Structure 1
Amino acid sequence: MKEIIIALVVVVVLFIVWSKRDPNREIPSTGIVSPADGKVSVVRKESDGRVRVGVFMNVYDVHVNRAPVSGYVKGIEHIPGGLFPAFSKESDRNERVRIVCTVDPSEESKVKASDEWEIVLIAGALARRIKPYIKVGDRIEKGERIGHIEFGSRVDVIFPAGRRIEDVLVKIGDRVRAGESILMESG
């Protein structure tokens, strides 16, 4: 019995260490990149006309989140909520951290400095801790590490007004990698 308990403890410790991995990534020079490793679970136009792309992170995905574009952090808001499975429709009501960014127009072609992007880190049924690494006023670089969500969860990018859903380069079910996979071309 003692051996079984030791084996279980070792497995749990190894899983926790493995879930905290943070590999380096090759950031492309152009395009708007995925904020998370995982599977695209949402591609939709919101009621305000903006486009949302969501990436579901399973427990085996890397859980470090990255900036999809370069710019400045304008606001960070923690929104309490439920803890529904991150892949379900109800997850829109989950606990989350909403990060509002303005884009640096020198970095992305045809982008206005007034364009506001949202990155929404959404907790899942097991993910009870969302840890942003950034604060209001920070300059962030595309592909930079901006936060971490414990265990399975979801990260959404809400593009500024004027972006078209037809310009999204990924579809539901596609596997993406944070900081590497391009969701939409710049501009």
Structure 2
Amino acid sequence: MTLHREGYTIMAVTAIVLLLINAGINYLLPDGYWIPRITLIASIIVFLLVVQFFRVPSRVVHKSDTQIVAPCDGRVVVIEEVVETEYFKGPRRQISIFMSPLNVHINWNPISGVIQYFKYHPGLYLVAWHPKSSTDNERTTVVIRNKEGIDVLFRQIAGAAARRIRWYVKEGDKVEQSTEMGFIKFGSRVDIFVPLDADIKVNLQDKTVGSITVLAELKA
């Protein structure tokens, strides 16, 4: 299993803390007590949970100029027409994907093109499913323009536990669909805004596989 570089420090710190806890309990309690054994088992479980969070999946992707793929693993929690006020300043179809702590938390580019707009917004840490998390939470806004001149906007949104958003793109970058663009640590959500005439390919509560699941088909 390959592990993501964003997790190296957290995994190392977690391992050190757990080792110190176990060493302390073994020193303070005499041999034969059940507490050291329970602590060791719990520590192993905690460490494995942290490790699995930073796993990097191996996936075979199929790239398309007209299809928008899911930028993350998770579950579709919103499909609705909204007014996007930051960049488009007009109506768009919003698709929101909630990422649980058990999901892979790498973020991928949903379409190929050029980054037309990027902005980081400091903010609050409301729970990811809160209606105002899309506008009030810490977040990034990324707009990719494909070769047909169609703009697709997506946001990495921090949640109550996810307070570390990472991104690896900037304005002017040429990006390829299904390539890595960032990482959100410990659960959150991603919003995608597509044209109203895009053909939506997912339903509410559908599970998405980042870089693979097709969310929508763009009109030529």
TM-score bracket for this pair, using the shorter chain length: 0.7 to 0.9
Secondary structure in 1 matching 2:156: strand
- Other-structure match for 1:186: 218
- Identify which of structures 1 and 2 has the higher relative contact order when contacts are C-alpha pairs closer than 8 Å and 6+ apart: 1
Secondary structure in 2 matching 1:173: coil
Identity of counterpart residues, as a percentage? 33
CA distance in 1 between counterparts of 2:197 and 2:160 reads 31
- Other-structure match for 1:164: 197
Q: Which has the larger radius of gyration?
A: 2
Partner AA of 2:143 in structure 1: V
Confirm whether residue 11 of structure 1 aligns to residue 54 of structure 2: no
Cα shift at 1:61: 0.7
Cα shift at 1:130: 0.4
Contact residue 27 and residue 142 of structure 1 kept, 8 A: no
CA distance in 1 between counterparts of 2:166 and 2:50 reads 16
CA RMSD of superposed structures (Å): 1.6
CA distance in 2 between counterparts of 1:150 and 1:21 reads 12
- Other-structure match for 1:155: 190
- Other-structure match for 1:74: 116
- Which of 118, 127, 136 is equivalent to 2:153? 118
CA distance in 2 between counterparts of 1:13 and 1:138 reads 36
CA distance in 2 between counterparts of 1:84 and 1:4 reads 34
- Within a 5 Å distance, the mapping from 1:15-34 to structure 2 comes to 15-30=49-64, 31-34=67-70
Partner AA of 2:206 in structure 1: D
Secondary structure in 2 matching 1:99: strand
Secondary structure in 2 matching 1:14: helix
Higher helix share: 2
CA distance in 1 between counterparts of 2:172 and 2:39 reads 48
- Other-structure match for 1:108: none
Cα shift at 1:6: 3.3
- Which of 89, 95, 104 is equivalent to 1:62? 104
Cα shift at 1:51: 1.2
Confirm whether residue 134 of structure 1 aligns to residue 169 of structure 2: yes
- Other-structure match for 1:99: 142
> How many residues get paired?
176
- Please give the per-residue CA displacement for 1:37-90, whole angstroms capped at 9, x wherever unaligned: 110011111122111111000111110011110011223211112111112223
Secondary structure in 2 matching 1:85: coil
CA distance in 2 between counterparts of 1:7 and 1:25 reads 32
Name stretches of at least 5 consecutive residues in structure 1 with no aligned partner: 106-110
Contact residue 63 and residue 178 of structure 2 kept, 8 A: no
The farther-off stretch of 82-91 and 33-42 is 82-91
Name stretches of at least 5 consecutive residues in structure 2 with no aligned partner: 1-34, 84-89
Contact residue 197 and residue 218 of structure 2 kept, 8 A: no
Cα shift at 1:29: 3.2
Partner AA of 1:177 in structure 2: V
CA distance in 2 between counterparts of 1:26 and 1:32 reads 16
Secondary structure in 1 matching 2:91: coil
- Using the size of structure 2 for normalisation, the TM-score is 0.74
